[in-house]
Structure 1
Amino acid sequence: MELRALRYFVTVADELHFGRAAERLHIAQPAVSQQIARLERELGVRLLDRSPRRVRLTAAGQRVLEAARSTLAAASQVELAAKQVVTTVRIGTAAGLTARLERGIDALRERAPEFDVVLVDLPVEARLNALRQGDLDLALTRGVRSVPGLEVLPAWTERLYAVVSRHHPAAARPAAGLTELADDALRLPAREHDPALYDAVAVALHETGLCAKPGRPTGTLQDTIVEVGSDPRSWTVLPADQAAEIRSTRVRAIPLEPPITIAGSVVVAQHQAGSGAECAAAAFRDDPV
């Protein structure tokens, strides 16, 4: 008897619908039906009554469901115990997360001192693919809300800052409105490179009825800061954590008013979801618990 078959059965029992169960498991519906039928043959009992309109548990199915949940929980504990001997945690990250990474790693080490950290800097899509392939243990992302096959755990919210030349008219102000900046060239990454940031700014502009003057798409953060610092008629937008890492004296980072925010998340593979993943998400929140 395979754990996979038990997992499929528990999912169908939760949903009482083969289609929804298949969607949750990210597999084709026939594969779910085949595994349930195989499990019933192995056990010699009918677990589910199926009709065109509904699916329900039989009396035997109710008994097996309780045992299946216990078996899967025990298997999860075995997997967790095995992973406790693993000393390396691979974290997918990106620019502008230094302070959050330091706080999060310190918080994790307070709970489990014996592990090493390997940070892997990748574009967001590459980070998510590396998680799917098992090349990362978790990833920090901005603006990711749901991903097939992965568990997205909301962890923080960052305010967006306008970054302008120190010679820009708004540079000395405590905050900047979009109306004050819309006539200058807005430098953003191409949408395919940072859809979360691009969309957050686009939505804010649309809601205020503004149409910003488009500038050339940005490249690396370092190049963007140099270019904006040299052109007082341009501006860019960065999340607060990333803006805090700017060391150039040629630019100013100013909070946008009214505030525009972007969500940050810890992402793990679905089979790793649980208390351990929630603990990791808590470590990277603004106030780790």
Structure 2
Amino acid sequence: MMELRALRYFVAVAEELHFGRAAERLRIVQPAVSQQVARLERELGTRLFDRTSRTVRLTESGRRVLAAARETLAAAEHVRAVVHEPSDLVRIGTAAGLTARLERGIDALRELNPGFDLVLVDLPVIERVHALRRGELDLALVRGPVSAPGVRVLPVWSEPLHAVVSARHPVAERGSVTVAELADHVLRAPSDPPLHEAVTAALGSTGTRFGRPVGTAQDTIVEVGSDPGSWALMPATEVAAIGSTRVRSLPLLPPITITGNILTPDDDIPRQCTHAITAAFEDA
């Protein structure tokens, strides 16, 4: 019988693409992760990862199983929440690099209702939207344009995108950079759909050369940091939160910004509630 534990371990490896990092994240030993993933592969009768001594990549079957595993785990969490959640629980979908904004927003909401309980849920943007539509989240923070049935999009803040380059890149010591000065280098576009759409729209007529999409923010930093021939566009706060010494984060001239949105269920939320939510998470 398939266990939720095996699915959790599989999802951790799929997101980290590294068994050791997945074990650290799960706070267990690596052999236990490998054992559970191998067991899941035997039960499903298919390989979920292509492994070499240096890399771990999802197979096509692995990508399909990942989507189903996330849905299954989300459903299990929902069951637990139904049993245990207090009536004033607020569940917020988050993303990397939003710590300061979350702290300000939560403090503002607590001034209105000091007694509410809080759960922060870190999910990929598509999963955040799905969870909101299924009633598993009350709010979600998302960068970039989003449109989905049953979801209300509240534009709340704007933040600059910076050019992220290797510390060995020719422009690394500059105070700022133009897109034209990066034209000979490959842009690693974000894989998050809203952020990808915002970046491609901003750079549509600049002749930018797009390379293969990147993964998580951490993976982007590592990959760009090791390749002086590439660059990335990332929210400045996200780069600062990671704090890598292998890359440089350069403001763009002219600036390119991205809109930050609060997503809520598209139901009859009172106007005063919408205003309170917007005010809580807007720029300080």
Same fold flag (TM > 0.5): yes
Matches within 5 A, 1:215-234: 215-234=211-230
SS at match of 2:109: helix
Corresponding residue for residue 273 of structure 1: 269
SS at match of 1:127: helix
Corresponding residue for residue 40 of structure 1: none
Matched, 1:202 2:203: no
Pairing partner for 2:246 from 247, 250, 253: 250
1:100/1:272 CA distance change after superposition, 3 Å: farther
Letter aligned with residue 123 of structure 1:
P
Letter aligned with residue 199 of structure 1:
E
SS at match of 2:241: coil
Matches within 5 A, 1:28-177: 86-177=87-178
Shift of 1:272: 5.0
Asked whether the equivalents of residues 145 and 197 of structure 2 are also in contact (C-alpha less than 8 Å), the reply is: no
Shift of 1:139: 0.7
Q: TM-score, normalised by structure 1?
A: 0.64
Asked whether the equivalents of residues 153 and 278 of structure 1 are also in contact (C-alpha less than 8 Å), the reply is: no
Corresponding residue for residue 13 of structure 1: none
Equivalent-residue separation in structure 2 for 1:130 and 1:219 (angstroms): 21
Q: Deviations over 1:116-140 (max 9, x none)?
A: 2101111222111211111111111
Q: Flag structure 1 segments of 5+ consecutive residues without an equivalent.
A: 1-84
Q: CA RMSD in A?
A: 1.7
Equivalent-residue separation in structure 2 for 1:170 and 1:114 (angstroms): 50
Asked whether the equivalents of residues 165 and 232 of structure 2 are also in contact (C-alpha less than 8 Å), the reply is: yes
Equivalent-residue separation in structure 2 for 1:145 and 1:201 (angstroms): 14
Q: Flag structure 2 segments of 5+ consecutive residues without an equivalent.
A: 1-85
Shift of 1:199: 2.4
Q: Sequence identity of aligned pairs in percent? A: 58
Letter aligned with residue 258 of structure 1:
P
Pairing partner for 1:282 from 273, 279, 282: 279
SS at match of 2:101: helix
Corresponding residue for residue 258 of structure 2: 262
Q: TM-score, normalised by structure 2?
A: 0.65
SS at match of 2:275: helix
Equivalent-residue separation in structure 2 for 1:238 and 1:108 (angstroms): 28
SS at match of 1:106: helix
Instruction: Could you list the structure 1 runs, at least 4 aligned residues long, displaced by more than 6 angstroms after superposition.
Output: none
Select between 241-250 and 211-220 the one with higher mean Cα deviation.
211-220
